[in-house]
């Protein structure tokens, strides 16, 4: 008997592989459908203007835009398979190397923020949904409503202003001091200090999603017999909240997480830009500003792959859990 999670993993894989392939095609063709090519854009910028025809032709092949479309696509795909995403001229480094340096920072932010907003959202939502209309519910729901209405970048900027500039207790940007300490313990401490504000901003943005979900679920759960029974038996406090409400919330939370991964990665992007955090969002934004399309394409493909991968795993776990009931 094959474990059900394996079946879910396999069935989800084909769709995502297809989506990923379509995305790669889209990323490949979009720039080619639009007027101008990377070389023309490159030349129209202030880097260099007078190139001879042969030099421009050489640049074209370097950018992968020489020859017919089919030939370009074949070359692009074969490069992609071996992990060659092209060369970023403004950074003077291969795109894959830049991404390798940036992705851990983004994942660090997400890994630190996820437990924070999941637990805060669940705890607050359960507490509010247990007694809808009570004082806690009104205060918490009101607060979360306001938080949900502040655009993510505004919340990030306000945090940056409050704790980074007006009352500078925490570093306002970057992921490490300019000269990282040699002492590994000190270095970890510095990294943690730099991550506090971005993680907080990210959690603040995501918490409302899970708060309202938990609250809605808790309201329904409160009417379910097993909870009424548990309350009647005198189970309360911590045990009621975790073992009874919390455990029942798990599948719903997972399902919502797989749905909202795109939103999470979008929010990380804004947070990284505001805090100049050297993750992928910052990299992508700078690629846009520098009109570094090779880097932009590579980053979009890799990040899309990452989102699809995470979504695939979470989805498979969620489906298995939902089937268990």
Partner 1 sequence: MLGYWSPVTQSAGFVSKGALAASVILMMAGFTLSESLPAYKTSPDVLHPPSAEYWLGTNGIGQDVFIGLVRAAPITIFLALVTATVALALALAASSLAAFGGPAVRGAVLRVVDVLQVIPSILLLLLLAAWIQPGFLGLVVLLALTGWHEDVRVALPILLRELTRENVHFARRMGASRTYCLRHHILPAIWPAIVGLFLQNVRQAALKSAGFGFLGLTDPRLLTWGSMMQDAMEHLYTDAWAWLLLPPAGALSLFLIGILIIGEGYSQSGGLTGKEQYDPG
When binding is defined by CB under 8 A, the residue of 72, 88, 311, 319 that contacts partner 1 is 311
Helix pair 184-222, 95-130: axis angle to 10 deg:
40
- With 0-12 / 13-18 / 19 or more C-beta atoms within 10 angstroms meaning exposed / middle / buried, residue 104 is middle
Dihedral over alpha carbons 263, 268, 273, 277 (to 10 degrees): -170
Instruction: Find out whether 202 and 271 touch, Cβ atoms under 8 Å.
Output: yes
Q: Which of residues 212-231 bind partner 1 (CB under 8 A)?
A: 212-213, 215-217, 219
Instruction: Find out whether 118 and 210 touch, Cβ atoms under 8 Å.
Output: yes
Here's the x/- map for partner 1, 256-275, by CB under 8 A: it reads as ---xxxxx-xxx-xx--x--
Here's the x/- map for partner 1, 36-65, by CB under 8 A: it reads as ------------------------------
Q: Which two tokens stand for residue 269?
A: 């992007």
15 belongs to the binding site for partner 1 (CB under 8 A): yes
Q: Which of residues 176-205 bind partner 1 (CB under 8 A)?
A: 205
Q: Which two tokens stand for residue 171?
A: 């570093």
254 belongs to the binding site for partner 1 (CB under 8 A): no
31 belongs to the binding site for partner 1 (CB under 8 A): yes
When binding is defined by CB under 8 A, the residue of 209, 251, 317, 319 that contacts partner 1 is 209
278: Cβ–Cβ under 8 A, 6 or more apart, which residues? 101, 102, 105, 174, 175, 272
| CA–CA gap between residue 41 and residue 47 (Å, rounded) | 10
77: Cβ–Cβ under 8 A, 6 or more apart, which residues? 24
Radius of gyration of the chain (CA): 24
Here's the x/- map for partner 1, 140-169, by CB under 8 A: it reads as -----xx-xxxxxxx--xx-xx---x----
Count residues binding partner 1 (CB under 8 A). 58
When binding is defined by CB under 8 A, the residue of 6, 17, 26, 228 that contacts partner 1 is 26
The binding site for partner 1 (CB under 8 A) comprises 15-16, 18-19, 22-23, 26-27, 30-31, 34, 145-146, 148-154, 157-158, 160-161, 165, 205, 208-209, 212-213, 215-217, 219, 259-263, 265-267, 269-270, 273, 284-285, 288, 291, 293, 296-297, 300, 303-304, 307-308, 311
């Amino acid at each position: 008997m094959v474990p059900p999670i394996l079946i879910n993993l396999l069935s989800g894989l084909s769709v995502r592989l297809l989506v990923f392939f379509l995305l790669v095609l889209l990323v490949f063709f979009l720039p080619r459908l639009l007027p101008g090519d990377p070389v023309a854009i490159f030349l129209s910028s202030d880097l260099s203007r007078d190139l001879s025809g042969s030099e421009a032709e050489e640049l074209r092949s370097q950018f992968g835009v020489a020859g017919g479309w089919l030939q370009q696509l074949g070359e692009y795909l074969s490069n992609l398979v071996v992990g060659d995403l092209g060369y970023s001229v403004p950074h003077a480094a291969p795109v894959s190397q830049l991404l390798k340096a940036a992705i851990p920072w983004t994942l660090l932010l997400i890994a630190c923020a996820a437990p924070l907003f999941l637990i805060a959202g669940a705890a607050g939502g359960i507490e509010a949904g247990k007694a809808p209309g009570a004082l806690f519910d009104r205060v918490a729901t009101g607060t979360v409503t306001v938080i949900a209405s502040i655009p993510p970048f505004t919340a990030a900027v306000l945090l940056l202003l409050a704790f980074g500039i007006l009352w500078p207790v925490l570093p306002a940007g970057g992921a490490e001091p300019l000269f990282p300490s040699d002492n590994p313990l000190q270095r970890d401490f510095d990294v943690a200090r730099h991550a506090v504000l971005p993680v907080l901003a990210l959690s603040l943005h995501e918490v409302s999603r899970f708060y309202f979900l938990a609250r809605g679920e808790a309201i329904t759960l409160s009417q379910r017999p097993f909870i009424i029974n548990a309350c009647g038996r005198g189970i309360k406090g911590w045990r009621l909240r975790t073992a009874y409400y919390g455990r029942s919330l798990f599948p719903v939370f997972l399902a919502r997480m797989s749905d909202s991964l795109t939103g999470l990665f979008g929010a990380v992007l804004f947070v990284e830009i505001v805090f100049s955090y050297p993750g992928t969002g910052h990299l992508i934004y700078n690629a846009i500003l520098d009109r570094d399309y090779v880097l932009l394409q590579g980053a979009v493909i890799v990040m899309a792959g990452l989102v699809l991968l995470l979504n695939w795993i979470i989805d498979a776990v969620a489906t298995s859990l939902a089937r268990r009931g």
